[in-house]
């Protein structure tokens, strides 16, 4: 049965890649990258083995922990990894939950990341090779460690896909999980720094050794730490960590089983939310016509659709991340300029805005709306949320840092960047559509068909935005460096004027592209699955 499922999975992958040459290129590049990383990892493991037992223990424990974390987080961040094996598609077949789980786990293990992890795990044997006890233990521990990775990843996927509950609850829950995970990185860094401060640098690795020692008792690294402990004679702690690893696998298995049963047995229940008739929301407030209608629709999406809300999370989260990385120095100019960085990220968020319409884009096209009206409506909708958000972030971070002298520079560079980003998106979203979760789907659902060329075009757009907004950024930087208030005000003036001019140009150019290209966009959207 497992063999059949795996055969289908590789057949689907093969067919997908054969149909999409760019995806094949992306897949091959991914494979080459994995091989390169694997080569470096194994070379490093061999080298560290010669450096002695203590460094080997630390490095393998730390690397194992990081690897596990990546597996846990990847399903939430990486789009388009693997949706060929969706548990709910197994539901009509007479398979036991256990069979489905084995098939899914085998599927996870036989993908590029799974194989790379397995090989890297085997690579640790090259390092343990110097200590027979460690080598023998590792033969048990490596499979355990790899299993923890695969099972944890599957568990997170199942949890993120969500079973039961109302649509709204599920959506909010997944956004909350996302927020916690985004902050997990900075929190870990903060904890590490505290640990570093607390411990004295007696070992070759400084205070970090203490942290790794602590982490080695947690489920994410126990399997990778056990061989080293046993080899160094710490039999009790080695055996205990082995037990922790075993318990982790068992616990993950049952948790996963529980969440899968929830998911299969209680798929996406509907609890209907309704508002009173006559509640028109933004549609009652905006002027009639293509611009007003699109504006109201776009604003409704930005304020209510979880797929948009998810992208707005960077607004509150990013300043916090900057604060962590600037080591809680509130007065640091980096923190005061958080708004600029947020604007840089937020401005290019709608780079393929039409994708989120899905096939409902047909209802836009069939009204015969002029391209410039559509572009302007979408830009105003995005700006209706983006501009206040940036102003609030700028005011709050500047107030917290007390650098009121920088306010003009911060506002100028951030609003300029935001508007420039929107201008670029007005053009790009008339050209590009990407596969995104359909309306009503989990906003974190992994969507097949994202290709390497899409990432490239996004990246190019980002660079282009930065170049176009260079005048106000440079002025703002000079204002911060020299402390010259005039430069700050100049940055504000240049940012606003240039931003607005670019936005107008973007709407005009994007509108013409849209008029010509609209039906092609629709055709491409309809070629994506489930839109």
Partner 1 sequence: MTTPPANTPPLPVPDAPAGDASAALVLTGLVKRFGQKVAVDHVGLSVPVGSFYALVGPNGAGKTTTLSMATGLLRPDAGTAVVHGVDVWQHPVEAKRMIGNLADGIRLFDRLTGEQLVTYTGMMFGLPHDVVAQRTADLLALMDLREAAGTAVVDYSAGMTKKIALACALVHAPRLLVLDEPFESVDPVSAANIEDVLRGYTGSGGTVIVSSHSMDLVQRMCDHVAVIAAGRVLAAGTTDEVRGSETLQDRFVDLVGGRHRTEGPEWLRQS
Residue numbers at the binding site for partner 1 (CB under 8 A): 167, 270, 272-281, 283-284, 286, 288-290, 292-294, 296-297, 300-301, 304-305, 357-360, 362-370, 438-440, 515, 519-520, 522-523, 526, 531
Tokens of 7: 């055969």
State the minimum distance, in angstroms, from the CB of residue 266 to partner 1.
Answer: 17
Phi first, then psi, for residue 93 (nearest 5°) are -90, 150
Pick the closer one to partner 1 by CB: 364 or 491.
Answer: 364
State the minimum distance, in angstroms, from the CB of residue 319 to partner 1.
Answer: 29
Instruction: Please list, in sequence order, all residues whose beta carbon lies within 8 angstroms of the beta carbon of residue 66, skipping any fewer than 6 positions away.
Output: none
- Which of 308, 340, 355, 315 lies closest to 419 in space, CA to CA? 340
State the minimum distance, in angstroms, from the CB of residue 82 to partner 1.
Answer: 25
180-185 long-range Cβ contacts below 8 angstroms, 24+ apart: 181/73, 181/76, 182/313, 182/317, 182/321, 183/317, 183/320, 183/321, 184/73, 185/321
Pick the closer one to partner 1 by CB: 71 or 528.
Answer: 528
Pick the closer one to partner 1 by CB: 4 or 279.
Answer: 279
Pick the closer one to partner 1 by CB: 85 or 380.
Answer: 380
Q: How far is CA 139 from CA 3, 6, 143, 170, 235, in A?
A: 25, 26, 7, 41, 17
- Which of 58, 34, 36, 225 lies closest to 117 in space, CA to CA? 34
State the minimum distance, in angstroms, from the CB of residue 518 to partner 1.
Answer: 9
State the minimum distance, in angstroms, from the CB of residue 303 to partner 1.
Answer: 10
Residue 431, helix vs strand vs coil: coil
Please say whether the beta carbons of 231 and 243 come within 8 A.
Answer: no
- Report how far residue 325's alpha carbon sits from residue 166's, in angstroms, rounded to the nearest whole number: 37
Pick the closer one to partner 1 by CB: 286 or 389.
Answer: 286
Tokens of 43: 């070379």
State the minimum distance, in angstroms, from the CB of residue 37 to partner 1.
Answer: 38
Give the CB-side neighbour count of residue 173, counting CA atoms within 13 A. 14
Please say whether the beta carbons of 294 and 371 come within 8 A.
Answer: no
DSSP 437: P
Pick the closer one to partner 1 by CB: 348 or 349.
Answer: 349
Residue by residue, DSSP assigns 346-412 as HHTGGGGTHHHHGGGHHHHHTTT--HHHHHHHHHHHHHHHHHHHHHHHHHHHHHHHT-GGGHHHHHH
Pick the closer one to partner 1 by CB: 417 or 531.
Answer: 531
State the minimum distance, in angstroms, from the CB of residue 159 to partner 1.
Answer: 23
Pick the closer one to partner 1 by CB: 54 or 305.
Answer: 305
Please say whether the beta carbons of 237 and 229 come within 8 A.
Answer: yes
State the minimum distance, in angstroms, from the CB of residue 291 to partner 1.
Answer: 10
Give the CB-side neighbour count of residue 77, counting CA atoms within 13 A. 10
Pick the closer one to partner 1 by CB: 82 or 171.
Answer: 171
State the minimum distance, in angstroms, from the CB of residue 285 to partner 1.
Answer: 10
């Amino acid at each position: 049965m497992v063999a059949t499922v795996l055969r289908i999975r590789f057949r689907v992958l093969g067919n997908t890649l054969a149909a999409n040459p760019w995806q094949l290129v992306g897949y091959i590049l991914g494979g080459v990258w994995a091989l390169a990383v694997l080569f470096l990892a194994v070379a490093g493991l061999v080298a560290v083995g010669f450096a002695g037992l203590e460094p080997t223990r630390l490095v393998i424990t730390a690397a194992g922990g990081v690897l596990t974390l990546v597996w846990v987080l990847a399903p939430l961040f990486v789009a388009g990894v693997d949706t060929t094996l969706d548990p709910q598609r197994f539901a009509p077949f007479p398979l036991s939950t256990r069979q489905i789980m084995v098939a899914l786990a085998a599927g996870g293990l036989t993908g590029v990341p799974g194989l790379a992890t397995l090989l890297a795990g085997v690579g640790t044997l090259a390092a343990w090779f110097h200590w027979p006890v460690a080598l023998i233990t590792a033969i048990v521990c490596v499979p355990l460690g790899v299993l923890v990775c695969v099972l944890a990843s599957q568990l997170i996927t199942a949890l993120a896909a969500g079973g039961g509950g109302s649509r709204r609850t599920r959506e909010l829950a997944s956004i909350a999980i996302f927020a916690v995970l985004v902050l997990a990185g900075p929190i870990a860094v903060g904890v590490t720094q505290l640990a570093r401060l607390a411990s004295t640098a007696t070992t070759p690795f400084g205070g970090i050794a203490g942290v790794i020692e602590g982490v080695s008792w947690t489920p994410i690294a126990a399997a990778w730490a056990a061989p080293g402990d046993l080899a160094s004679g710490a039999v009790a702690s080695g055996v205990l960590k082995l037990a922790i690893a075993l318990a982790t696998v068992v616990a993950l298995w049952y948790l996963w089983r529980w969440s899968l049963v929830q998911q299969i047995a209680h798929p996406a229940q509907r609890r209907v939310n309704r508002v009173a008739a006559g509640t028109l929301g933004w549609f009652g407030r905006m002027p009639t016509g293509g611009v007003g209608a699109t504006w109201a629709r776009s604003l409704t999406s930005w304020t209510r659709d979880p797929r948009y809300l998810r992208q707005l999370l960077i607004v509150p989260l990013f300043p916090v991340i900057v604060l962590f990385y600037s080591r809680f120095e509130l007065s640091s100019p980096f923190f005061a300029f958080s708004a600029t960085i947020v604007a840089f990220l937020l401005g290019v968020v709608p780079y393929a805005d039409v994708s989120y319409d899905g096939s409902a884009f047909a209802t836009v096209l069939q009204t015969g709306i002029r391209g410039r009206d559509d572009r302007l409506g979408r830009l105003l909708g995005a700006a209706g949320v983006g501009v206040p958000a940036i102003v609030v972030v700028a005011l709050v971070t500047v107030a917290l840092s007390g650098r009121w002298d920088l306010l003009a520079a911060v506002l100028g560079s951030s609003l300029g960047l935001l508007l420039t980003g929107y201008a670029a998106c007005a053009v790009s979203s008339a050209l590009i559509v990407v596969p995104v979760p359909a309306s009503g789907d989990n906003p974190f659902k992994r969507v097949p068909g994202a290709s390497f060329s899409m990432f490239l075009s996004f990246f190019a757009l980002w660079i282009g935005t930065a170049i176009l907004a260079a005048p106000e950024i440079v002025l703002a930087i000079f204002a911060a460096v020299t402390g010259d208030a005039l430069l700050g005000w100049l940055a504000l003036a240049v940012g606003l004027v240039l931003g607005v001019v670019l936005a107008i140009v973007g709407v005009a150019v994007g509108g013409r592209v849209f008029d010509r290209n609209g039906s092609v966009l629709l055709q491409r959207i309809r070629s994506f699955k489930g839109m």
